[in-house]
Amino acid sequence: MPLALLALAIGAFGIGTTEFVIMGVLPQVAGEFDVSIPAAGWLVSGYALGVVIGAPILTVLGTKVSRKKMLLFLMGVFIVGNALSAAAPTFGVMLIGRVVASFAHGAFFGIGSVVAASLVAPEKKASAISLMFMGLTIANIIGVPGGTYVGQAAGWRVTFAIVALLGVIGFLGVAMLVPEQGKPEAARIRTEFAAFRNVQVWLAMAMTVLGYGGVFAAITYIAPMMTDVAGYSEGGVTWLLVLFGIGMFLGNLLGGKFADKALMPMLFVTLAALAVALLLFTVTAHSQVLAAITLPTIGALGFATVPPLQKWILDQASAAPTLASAANIGAFNLGNALAAWLGGVVIAAGFGYTSSNWIGAMLAGTALLLSFLAAFLDRRSRATGPIAAPEPVAAQH
Chain segment 18-55, per-residue pLDDT in tens: 888 887 888 889 999 998 888 888 888 888 788 888 87
**What is residue 388's three-state secondary structure?**
strand
Phi, psi of 113 (to 5 degrees): -65, -40
- Residue 385 buriedness (CB in 10 A; 0-12 / 13-18 / 19+): exposed
Q: Do the domains spanning 1-179 and 190-383 agree at the CATH topology level?
A: yes
Measured CA to CA in angstroms, residue 66 lies from 3, 72, 233, 320 at distances of 19, 10, 48, 15
Chain segment 268-281, per-residue pLDDT in tens: 989 999 999 999 99
Q: What percent of the chain has pLDDT over 70?
A: 90
Residue 367 CB-half CA count within 13 A:
36
Cα distance from N-terminal residue to C-terminal residue, the chain: 59
Fold of 1-179: Growth Hormone; Chain: A; (1.20.1250)
Residues 276 and 365: beta-carbon distance below 8 Å: no
Average pLDDT over residues 125-154: 82
**pLDDT number for residue 33:** 92
Average pLDDT over residues 323-351: 81
Is residue 394 scored above 60 in pLDDT?
Answer: no
Domain range summary for the chain, segments of one domain joined by +: 1-179, 190-383
Fold of 190-383: Growth Hormone; Chain: A; (1.20.1250)
DSSP letter at 143 equals: I
Mean pLDDT, the chain, rounded, equals: 83
**pLDDT number for residue 393:** 43
